[in-house]
Structure 1
Amino acid sequence: MENIAEFKKLLEKDRPDEHLSVQLRALWYDAKGDWQMAHDQVDHLGDTASARIHAYLHRKEGDSWNANYWYARAGEKRPEISLDQEWEALVQRFLSV
């Protein structure tokens, strides 16, 4: 998969593609409206990539303190963009990995 349009086509399915990274699976569940399942994908992981997804999810949830904690764990600052823009930027980032 090379671009966000291809990733968005996967949202038509009932389940995420088994070849997706855990970060992309979390973003897939988030886009499908299942915040808890998205969170469950990364909650137990300690790597910076998962921390970055974790940060986005807590920002989306409205838990600013927790989001800022996870942004710091990821070595980043909270972006000054919309949640939709952040989601798309994260999909692009993890498609490139």
Structure 2
Amino acid sequence: MARTTEQDFIASLDREPAPADLPPTLQSIRHGLRGEWEQAHGIVQGLDGADAAWIHAWLHRIEGDLDNAGYWYRRAGRSLASGGTGEEGRLIAAELLSR
């Protein structure tokens, strides 16, 4: 199966179904970028590691809970983001897709 590119990922935001090869981290980001916070959060809660912590932080930023976001940014080893949440979500996805 072909690997999802950043362009394919962004294009998928406006259609169903999601690309079949998306790992849970990218599924969570996709839901978050689509405004489906509960689904995004439900996925990331079951994941471990720095990438999951970064996504978790971003989702709490979207929610407006900056204290909780700060906790997750620290767990991810990252600074609290200051740009738009949509921009940050696309940045996280791009970084994960580039690996």
TM over 0.5: yes
Aligned to 1:19: 21
Measured on the aligned residues, the alpha-carbon RMSD in Å equals 1.3
Q: Unpaired segments of 5 or more residues in structure 1?
A: none
For normalisation by structure 2, the TM-score amounts to: 0.87
In the comparison of the two structures, how many residue pairs are matched? Answer: 96
Q: Give, in whole Å, the separation in 1 of the partners of 2:24 and 2:94.
A: 14
5+ residue gaps, structure 2, are none
**What residue is the counterpart of 1:31 in the other structure?**
33
TM-score computed with the length of structure 1 as normaliser: 0.89
Which residue of the other structure, out of 39, 43, 46, is the alignment partner of 2:45?
Answer: 43
Task: State the shift of 1:10 in Å.
Answer: 1.4
Aligned: 1:89 with 2:82: no
Moved over 6 A (4+): none
Match of 2:12 among 4, 10, 17: 10
